[in-house]
């Protein structure tokens, strides 16, 4: 049975970590090969900034240009790419609070078609935290940060240890980041 993504009544406010970028700052690319944020030809190439929130929660705003190589139906964005964009935006906002975290569950509602050639503005917010669980939500707007809502999302991210990556990532990719074969073997033994 699917577990609810609704914020539990006893969830705490999730503020930005003291070392996280400040409101207005652009987020750095978190990995040079990331499908969501890196400047690679086939990627979504999202550009993200830390945004303000009245309640003090962590919020990120992202921009995505909709390209011809991202079509599903002719002239319209493939729906799975909106979900991917939400994964990136919501993962980025969670990383302002604590990291590393991974997506455990992500739901997307598709509200309006997204024409190629237009711009999406996405907003992600950490609505609350309960232990390892971070409850997040997002909206996607057409052309403008306050433009028509084309999609909404809710997700649960879980805090994990570095072991998660040491045990599961492809060894050559870990080694390219400076992790030694011994560290990888030790995590997997």
Ligand X SMILES: CCCCCCCC(=O)SCCNC(=O)CCNC(=O)[C@H](O)C(C)(C)COP(=O)(O)OP(=O)(O)OC[C@H]1O[C@@H](n2cnc3c(N)ncnc32)[C@H](O)[C@@H]1OP(=O)(O)O
- Interface residues toward ligand X, by CB under 6 A: 3, 30, 36, 87-88, 91-92, 95, 102-105, 133, 156, 158, 160
144 a catalytic residue? no
Which residue, 36 or 138, is less far from ligand X as judged by CB? Answer: 36
Task: Give min distance, CB of 41 to ligand X, in A.
Answer: 19
Catalytic hit among 52, 53, 87, 144: 87
Contact indicator for 44, 87 with CB cutoff of 8 Å: no
Rounded Cα gap, residues 76 and 72, in angstroms: 6
Angle at 47 between CA 28 and CA 148, to 5 degrees: 150
* Nearest to ligand X of 168, 180 (CB atom): 168
Q: Which is nearer to ligand X, 88 or 184 (CB)?
A: 88
Q: CB under 8 Å to 175, separation ≥6 — which residues? A: 181, 184
The minimum distance between CB 131 and ligand X, in angstroms, equals: 7
In angstroms, what is the minimal distance from the CB of 18 to ligand X?
A: 18
Region of 123 on the Ramachandran plot (φ > 0 left; ψ -120 to 50 alpha; else beta): beta
Catalytic annotation, residues? 87
């Amino acid at each position: 049975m699917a577990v609810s993504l609704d914020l539990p009544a006893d969830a705490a406010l999730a503020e930005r970590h003291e070392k996280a970028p400040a409101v207005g700052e652009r987020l750095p690319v978190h990995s040079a090969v990331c499908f969501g944020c890196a400047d690679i030809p086939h990627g979504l190439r999202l550009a993200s900034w830390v945004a303000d929130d009245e309640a003090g929660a962590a919020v990120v705003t992202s921009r995505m240009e909709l390209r011809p190589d991202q079509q599903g139906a002719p002239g319209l964005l493939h729906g799975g790419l909106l979900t991917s964009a939400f994964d990136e935006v919501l993962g980025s906002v969670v990383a302002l609070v604590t990291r590393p975290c991974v997506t455990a569950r992500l739901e997307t509602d598709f509200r309006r078609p997204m024409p190629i050639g237009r711009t999406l503005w996405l907003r992600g917010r950490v609505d609350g935290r309960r232990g390892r669980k971070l409850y997040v939500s997002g909206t996607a707007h057409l052309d403008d940060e306050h433009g028509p809502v084309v999609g909404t999302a809710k997700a649960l991210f879980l805090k994990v240890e570095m072991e998660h990556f040491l045990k599961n990532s492809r060894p050559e990719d870990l080694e390219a980041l400076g992790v030694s074969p011994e560290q990888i073997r030790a995590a997997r033994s």
